[in-house]
Chain A
Amino acid sequence: MTGSVTTSSDMAVDRVTTTAPGSRRTVLRRDLPVAVVVVLALLSVPFFAPPELANVLTRILALALLAVSLDLLVGVGGLPSLGHAAPFGVGAYAAGIVAKEVTTFAPAQLLAAVVAGAVLSAAVGWLVVRARGTYLLMLTLAVAELVHVLAGRWETVTGGTNGLVGIPGIRLVPGGEPVRLAGVRYWYVLVVALLCFGLIVVISRSAFGRSLRGIRDNEARMSSLGYSTFRIKYTVFVLAGAFAGAAGSLYTVQSRFVSPSDLGFEVSALALLAVVIGGRGSLWGAVLGTGLVFYIRDEIGPQLGGRGGLLLGLVFIAAVYLLPRGFAGVRLPRRGREVTS
């Protein structure tokens, strides 16, 4: 759904051809038009769609960035996390507090949220990335639950269980007018999400990204090749936390409210669900996965009298059996052999 999405889908194919010069260019030539069309379509949404749709898309974009940052950690780096809502929620609180107490200038909130997400992940990651697999899953879950409880208790800062209310609308120019149009808010969130997505794709395609896949495939071999695997895992954990923080800031732009449930287990689990349904490691698949998951939860769920969770569960089971590689794996058989990213 974003500019780099289509190129990233072919990243796998491209990466295999590292020794064949020129392949990158052909991939770009094939996918650039698709990417441009997708970006233009997204940019044009506010011109023809009602503000309610722009608001829904704004929220989904923020959560999609959360899912993509989680995919960098889980799908590319092979580090499963059930606590990715923690940096997301901390970023959201940081953005909300900055908006209320310091400035409504949106990029300042974004910066605060990125720093908050990165700092939390840096503190937590120092310990947890030493664990693997299920242990890592349990540790990230435990930390996220601690942060969740803290958000509910620390009333002077977070507003406690009532949540952080009354976050003012953002301004895009310091001292300018607050943004009132849903479409403009949407554009801001879209541009920031695209930028972050582009950065994550660059990281995933970098030499460091290759090291990450090495960790995912065979961590023991990485250390016998002379790598400090801790350094790689710690770096990606902090990076994923920073991007999750950015997603948290984008979330408050539209919701203008943060509550402890925004960094609860459900958000972590749904983000992980979006990654699995979308196809681990493809990055763009996580975007589609988010769209589906939150469309079911927020739009279809209420019509089912609160049984959206049941439907989500069914979708998840269907996805695991029918699409073992998620959306990202759907068109691969046509290409002959595929290389999972």
Chain B
Amino acid sequence: MTAVLTCTDVTKRFGSLAAVDAVSLTVERGARHALIGPNGAGKSTFFNMLAGTMRPTSGRIELDGKDVTSRSDAWRSRAGMAKTFQHSSLFLSLSVADNVAMAAQRVTGDGLRLRRPAGRCPGVDDSVDRCLQQTGLTHRARSRVSELSHGERRQLEVAVALATEPVLLLLDEPTAGMSAAESGSFAMLIESLPADVSVLLIEHDLDVVFRLATRISVLHLGTLLADGDPEDVRADERVQQAYLGTGSSEELFLPGVGA
């Protein structure tokens, strides 16, 4: 397998505090990679550096073999990195279909065409239909985003991200604020994504993480505590300690708990 995303010694300092301290991490092509960690572990800072909204103090980030460390988020998107945000970031006054079309017409280049009617861009319309179908939103295509439920907005975020034809999809706490049922169907959606899209998932909900992830990295106090198969991470004592502060916390990672 080849690496889609390679982070080498990525560090972010705020004054004397190292929020992320020399983290090296590799996301393989086609992986379902989860990044977990207790509150304050530096997950969001790390995500922001990957997404391009924050520059690392030092270190190097490579996407698909290209150095993107100092590239803008727009550049990264064009290079194949898509992301969904912790708080939905959509076009509220537009329809669901138009939201997806916005991403699709950037890829096809129609977005700057003055004479091409918005409803008649064949490449864009096909992409919209496909992405809505993949995310189960076809029946909502004509609804306005402001009418969607929280869970549906999350689905739409994924549809918009898919329409940019990414090689890597970054999901920042996608199930935050979701009901158990919504989380379950969201996990199903992620499972159904095409295999050639690599996914890096930053997530609190450990049920979702252990259900989806083929590899898990654990961040704690800015450093990488563990990085490996779900089984190894589940068994890792330091990880359990980081989460609960004691050594006796086995039920935390027992499969099925809380599901």
Tally of B interface residues using CB under 8 Å: 46
How far apart sit A17 and B140, CA to CA, in the bound complex (Å)? Answer: 11
> Do B89 and A221 have beta carbons less than 8 Å apart?
yes
If A214-B102, A339-B93 touch, whether A206 touches B118 (CB-CB below 8 Å) is yes
Q: How far is the CB of A232 from chain B (nearest CB, A)?
A: 7
> Do B111 and A339 have beta carbons less than 8 Å apart?
no
How far apart sit A220 and B72, CA to CA, in the bound complex (Å)? Answer: 12
- Asked if B225 lies at the interface with its beta carbon under 8 angstroms from chain A, I say no
User: Which residue from A15, A207, A224 sits with its C-beta under 8 Å from B105?
Assistant: A207
CB<8 Å pairs between A and B, sample of 13: A15-B98, A18-B128, A19-B132, A202-B117, A206-B118, A207-B110, A210-B102, A213-B98, A217-B92, A218-B90, A221-B91, A227-B106, A339-B93
> Do A15 and B95 have beta carbons less than 8 Å apart?
yes
User: Which residue from B74, B91, B111 sits with its C-beta under 8 Å from A207?
Assistant: B111
- Asked if A340 lies at the interface with its beta carbon under 8 angstroms from chain B, I say yes
- Asked if B97 lies at the interface with its beta carbon under 8 angstroms from chain A, I say yes
> Do A225 and B119 have beta carbons less than 8 Å apart?
no
Q: How far is the CB of A306 from chain B (nearest CB, A)?
A: 40
- Asked if B94 lies at the interface with its beta carbon under 8 angstroms from chain A, I say yes
Max chain B C-beta neighbours (<10 A), residue from A224, A231, A337: A224
How far apart sit A206 and B115, CA to CA, in the bound complex (Å)? Answer: 6
How far apart sit A49 and B179, CA to CA, in the bound complex (Å)? Answer: 67
- Asked if A235 lies at the interface with its beta carbon under 8 angstroms from chain B, I say yes
In the complex, besides A206-B118, A211-B102, 11 extra interface pairs with C-beta distance below 8 angstroms are A16-B142, A19-B132, A207-B112, A207-B121, A207-B124, A211-B105, A221-B90, A223-B74, A224-B51, A232-B111, A337-B144
If A209-B118, A213-B93 touch, whether A17 touches B72 (CB-CB below 8 Å) is no
Q: Which B residues fall within an 8 A CB radius of A?
A: 51-52, 72-75, 77-78, 83, 89-95, 97-98, 101-103, 105-107, 110-119, 121, 124-125, 128-129, 132, 141-142, 144, 147, 160, 164
User: Which residue from A19, A235, A340 sits with its C-beta under 8 Å from B93?
Assistant: A340
